[in-house]
């Protein structure tokens, strides 16, 4: 059996599930560089530390920490062992950069896996640094066309890039068919939601998520459309904006566990992510898995990969409240059942089972 070593940040649930499934196909060892307790933006029960079919290791010999990322020199002990493939997840963490330098010095080829990427207007120095790091890999695993374009921009050769379906969902998480109108209505009564069209959005109340743009767009929605934003406590800025715009169709909901959140996905008509930048945006996968059309921006990689204009949703320019309102209204006036069914079929290959299968097939062919 082929032996693969992965170096990544921390054991999030979907990564653990992915490595477990890949471990059924390959002899897989995973090194985690960052400490779980430092990820304070996540609740403790979100993380998973045990794995069933692959060997997982929490690196411990830390020399320093940079920007919340640990610098673990014990990674070198693992790189010295015999592997058929070494995969570095990303290229920006200090431990990964150390591994990259060592592997280059020892002339050991390695793969680079990137879950998403957006080309920016970099300074010449920043571009050269990124290009130096990205171009050092021998081969690449990319989450799709937008990420491949990103890698090529920073020095990868397109023929060295293999794409895979990136997701946090298992097959069991996808609905067999869109939610019926009767079930939606029953859930709305249970959750005490409004009777009209329901727009759902999920994310932290931070500037990058673009909820200020969504609130400004809310003032331009058709009558009977309500927005529910799940993300914890809204900041004073958002509360004041609602007051200034006299918004009565926006409702803030606190953080909720997966079981409760599923009910809101099923009760909604449309999902909106007004992000200013998401290197992927896994909530897009989740929304489509519940048969929801999606409106998001051109700075969301998941949207660029999964949203087909007018079929599974719409893409709007980042920060454009008028375009966002226009496309939300257009979606609400369209055949939501048809768009939701198309969204569900589009995301159906994006399962952790299939992600592991594609990885295994690539490694069998290329190593």
Judge whether 81 and 99 are in contact, CB under 8 Å.
no
State percent of the chain over pLDDT 70. Answer: 92
pLDDT band for 2, please (50, 70, 90 cuts). Answer: confident
Tell me, yes or no, whether 148 and 20 share the same domain. yes
pLDDT of residue 42: 47
Q: Which whole number is the average pLDDT over 92-99?
A: 93
Tell me, yes or no, whether 217 and 272 share the same domain. yes
In the predicted structure, residue 180 carries a pLDDT above the cut 70: yes
Task: Supply the DSSP string of 27-57, one letter for each residue.
Answer: EEEEEE-S-GGG-TTS-GGG-----SSSEEE
* Alpha-carbon distances, residue 103 vs 27, 52, 367 (angstroms): 21, 29, 17
Tell me, yes or no, whether 307 and 203 share the same domain. yes
Judge whether 267 and 191 are in contact, CB under 8 Å.
yes
pLDDT of residue 249: 97
pLDDT of residue 10: 82
The 10s digit of each residue's pLDDT in 139-177 is: 999 999 999 999 999 999 999 999 999 999 999 999 999
Domain that holds residue 280: 175-347
Tell me, yes or no, whether 97 and 229 share the same domain. no
pLDDT band for 262, please (50, 70, 90 cuts). Answer: very high
Tell me, yes or no, whether 237 and 304 share the same domain. yes
Tell me, yes or no, whether 113 and 240 share the same domain. no
* Residue 92: both structure tokens together: 């920006």
Tell me, yes or no, whether 343 and 361 share the same domain. no
Q: Which of 302-310's residues contact partners 24+ apart within 8 Å by CB, and which partners? A: 302/116, 302/278, 303/273, 304/144, 304/145, 304/146, 305/143, 305/144, 305/145, 305/146, 306/343, 306/346, 306/347, 306/350, 308/342, 308/346, 310/334
Q: Which whole number is the average pLDDT over 110-132?
A: 96
pLDDT of residue 34: 81
Tell me, yes or no, whether 207 and 337 share the same domain. yes
Q: Which whole number is the average pLDDT over 268-297?
A: 98
pLDDT of residue 340: 97
Return the CATH number at 51.
Answer: 3.40.50.2000
In the predicted structure, residue 193 carries a pLDDT above the cut 90: yes
pLDDT band for 19, please (50, 70, 90 cuts). Answer: very high
* Residue 137: both structure tokens together: 């890999």
Q: How far apart are alpha carbons 323 and 334 in whole angstroms?
A: 16
In the predicted structure, residue 364 carries a pLDDT above the cut 50: yes
Q: Which whole number is the average pLDDT over 18-44?
A: 77
Tell me, yes or no, whether 200 and 320 share the same domain. yes
Tell me, yes or no, whether 9 and 82 share the same domain. yes
Tell me, yes or no, whether 81 and 109 share the same domain. yes
Residue that is written with structure tokens 């004073």 in the block: 236
The 10s digit of each residue's pLDDT in 38-70 is: 544 444 444 444 567 889 999 987 666 655 667
Number of domains, the chain: 2
Tell me, yes or no, whether 357 and 261 share the same domain. no
pLDDT of residue 195: 87
């Amino acid at each position: 059996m082929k032996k693969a070593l992965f170096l990544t940040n921390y054991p999030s649930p979907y990564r653990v599930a992915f490595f477990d499934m890949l471990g059924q196909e390959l002899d897989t060892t995973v090194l985690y560089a960052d400490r779980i307790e430092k990820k304070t933006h996540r609740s403790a029960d979100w993380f998973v530390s045990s794995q069933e079919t692959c060997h997982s290791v929490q690196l411990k010999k830390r020399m320093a920490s940079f920007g919340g990322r640990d610098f673990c020199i014990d990674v070198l002990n693992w790189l010295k062992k015999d592997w058929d493939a070494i995969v570095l997840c990303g290229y920006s963490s200090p431990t990964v950069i150390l591994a990259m330098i060592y592997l280059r010095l020892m002339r050991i080829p390695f793969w680079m896996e990137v879950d998403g990427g957006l080309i920016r207007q970099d300074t010449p120095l920043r571009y050269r640094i990124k290009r130096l790091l990205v171009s050092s890999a021998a081969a690449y695993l990319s989450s799709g066309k937008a990420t491949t374009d990103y890698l090529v921009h920073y020095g990868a050769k397109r023929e060295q890039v293999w794409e895979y379906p990136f997701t946090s969902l298992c097959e069991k998480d996808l609905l067999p068919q869109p939610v019926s109108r009767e079930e939606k209505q029953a859930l709305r009564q249970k959750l005490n939601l409004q009777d009209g069209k329901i727009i759902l959005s999920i994310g932290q109340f931070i500037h990058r998520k673009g909820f200020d743009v969504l609130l400004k767009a809310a003032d331009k929605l058709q009558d009977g459309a309500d927005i529910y934003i799940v993300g914890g406590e809204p900041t004073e800025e958002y509360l004041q904006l609602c007051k200034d715009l006299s918004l009565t169709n926006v409702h803030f909901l606190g953080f909720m566990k997966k079981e409760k959140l599923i009910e809101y996905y099923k009760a909604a008509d449309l999902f909106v992510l007004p992000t200013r930048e998401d290197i992927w945006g896994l909530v897009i996968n989740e929304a489509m898995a519940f048969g929801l059309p999606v409106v998001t921006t051109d700075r969301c990689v998941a949207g660029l990969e999964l949203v087909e204009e007018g079929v599974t949703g719409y893409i709007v320019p980042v920060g454009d409240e008028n375009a966002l309102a226009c496309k939300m209204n257009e979606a609400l006036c369209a055949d939501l059942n048809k768009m939701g069914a198309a969204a569900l079929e589009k995301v159906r290959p994006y399962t952790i089972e299939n992600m592991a299968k594609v990885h295994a097939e690539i490694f069998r062919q290329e190593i």
